[in-house]
Copies of this chain bind each other. A is one copy, B any other.
Amino acid sequence: MSSYLGKNLHVSIFGQSHAPAIGVTVDGLPAGERVDLEELDRFLQRRAPGRDATATPRKEADKPRFLCGLTDGVTCGAPLAAVIENTNTRSRDYSSLHDVPRPGHADYTAQVRYGGFQDVAGGGHFSGRLTAPLCIAGGIALQILARRGIEIAAHIQAVAQVEDRPFDPMGERRETFQQLKTASFPTLDPKAGEAMRRVILLAREEQDSVGGVVECMATGLPAGLGDPMFGGMEGRLAYALFGVPAVKGLEFGAGFKAARMRGSEHNDPFTMKDGHVTAKSNHAGGILGGITNGMPLIFRAAFKPTPSIAREQDSVSLSRGTEEKLSIVGRHDPCIVPRAVPVVEAAAALVLLDTLLDAPAILKENQQRTV
């Protein structure tokens, strides 16, 4: 259990921030799926730095090179592997991290876990940079899902105290999804977006950082995906999403608000619509008993503030056992949430495709009713 994921799809992410390259392998993609490389590139650009004034000006040429798994741009059934060469690295920024760990980072825990042999440059394997290969795999999954009528979109639901309006749990218009996917700062309410950007720029001015919340919705999912208990959609998605660096909270549907509600208020009454079973509300976030009910699947992921801040911080020298002051130089996002939006979509897409690959077996078996 480490940097891999999945049951039918098998996603394995590799690389350190300043290693020669980072990348991903995906085993189990259905054969015969065209990968639209331009669309994938647009998706990866949403995660790339330097896209908005609020982000780090650091440049990352996130151009994946596909080593295998595609023939003439179409999945061939063999494992797909893609790498991104690391070019624009500045290893001089990261000296002495072996000894004086940065608060909020994995420097200290990696030191214990790997006995001092970990690669500290740029955070090593713990770097947010590793979300780039996750987005390659997830971007391909998004294309495959879209062909089956499943769309996933996310927006910045909160930055610090500033909140965007939440997704309508009964669904959003297709155009809203499209707008989110092309916006440089994806919010549903442009004014909220402006306020968020001001909060981020202020934090940067003050050599500080802020956290936030990403809300994600998947539409078009058939009812019947997922399993009870540990195979439920919540657990499967959580396993992937807590793998995204800086995620510290996750809630589905009404989530923590559900804890404050009454059953009569929270239960979604069933109703019929166009001859299909549906519900009058969607506090469940599209999941009942771990299994999709055909309503939009909704969740929110809480991101902690970027731990790399320019202000002086307290730390210790691991070798000397003394207290030390630490100043982090280098270019960092004062808020990673805007760039995390496609990462959340990618992680969700991989889990949903993985689960969907179960479904033909499952649903088909039921329909045959062999008794």
Give the nearest-CB partner of A305 in chain B.
Answer: B263
Q: Within 8 Å of chain B (Cβ to Cβ): is A349?
A: no
Q: Which one of B115, B230, B249 contacts A369 once the chains associate, using CB atoms below 8 Å?
A: B115
Contact B264 A208 (CB under 8 A): yes
Output the least CB separation between A136 and chain B (Å).
13
Residue numbers in B under 8 Å from A13 (CB-CB):
79, 229
Give residues of chain A (346-363) contacting chain B, Cβ–Cβ below 8 Å: 357-363
Q: Within 8 Å of chain B (Cβ to Cβ): is A240?
A: yes
CA distance A239 to B210 in the complex (A): 27
Give residues of chain A (107-126) contacting chain B, Cβ–Cβ below 8 Å: 108-110, 112-119, 124-126
Output the least CB separation between A206 and chain B (Å).
8
Give the nearest-CB partner of A131 in chain B.
Answer: B229
Output the least CB separation between A271 and chain B (Å).
6
Q: Within 8 Å of chain B (Cβ to Cβ): is A76?
A: yes
Q: Within 8 Å of chain B (Cβ to Cβ): is A211?
A: yes
Q: Within 8 Å of chain B (Cβ to Cβ): is A60?
A: no
Oligomeric state, in copies: 4
Q: Within 8 Å of chain B (Cβ to Cβ): is A88?
A: no
Q: Within 8 Å of chain B (Cβ to Cβ): is A53?
A: no
Residue numbers in B under 8 Å from A290 (CB-CB):
106, 109, 126, 242-243
- What 7 pairs between A and B have smallest CB-CB spacing? A106-B289, A115-B366, A249-B251, A78-B125, A269-B314, A209-B263, A238-B238
Contact B117 A74 (CB under 8 A): yes
Output the least CB separation between A255 and chain B (Å).
4
CA distance A5 to B76 in the complex (A): 21
Output the least CB separation between A291 and chain B (Å).
4
Q: Within 8 Å of chain B (Cβ to Cβ): is A94?
A: no
Contacts A147-B370, A263-B306 given; does A3 touch B269 at CB 8 Å: no
Contact A289 B109 (CB under 8 A): yes
Contacts A361-B361, A370-B147 given; does A309 touch B110 at CB 8 Å: no
Contact A234 B229 (CB under 8 A): no
Q: Within 8 Å of chain B (Cβ to Cβ): is A262?
A: yes
Output the least CB separation between A145 and chain B (Å).
11
Q: Can you give 26 A-B contacts (C-beta < 8 A)?
A: A3-B230, A8-B358, A12-B12, A13-B79, A14-B67, A14-B69, A31-B113, A31-B117, A74-B117, A77-B113, A77-B114, A77-B125, A103-B268, A103-B270, A104-B284, A105-B288, A112-B293, A160-B262, A211-B259, A230-B240, A238-B238, A249-B252, A262-B305, A265-B305, A270-B314, A357-B365
Contacts A31-B365, A260-B160, A366-B113 given; does A20 touch B288 at CB 8 Å: no
Contact A305 B258 (CB under 8 A): yes
CA distance A75 to B254 in the complex (A): 34
CA distance A108 to B285 in the complex (A): 15
Contact A67 B263 (CB under 8 A): no
Residue numbers in B under 8 Å from A293 (CB-CB):
108-109, 112
Binding-face segment, A37-45, A176-184, A315-323: A315-323
Q: Within 8 Å of chain B (Cβ to Cβ): is A25?
A: yes
Contacts A12-B27, A249-B259, A250-B238 given; does A34 touch B371 at CB 8 Å: yes
Contacts A113-B362, A223-B109 given; does A256 touch B249 at CB 8 Å: yes
Binding-face segment, A164-172, A185-193, A273-281: A273-281
Q: Within 8 Å of chain B (Cβ to Cβ): is A173?
A: no
Q: Which one of B76, B105, B270 contacts A316 once the chains associate, using CB atoms below 8 Å?
A: B270
Contact A266 B16 (CB under 8 A): no
Contact A67 B21 (CB under 8 A): yes
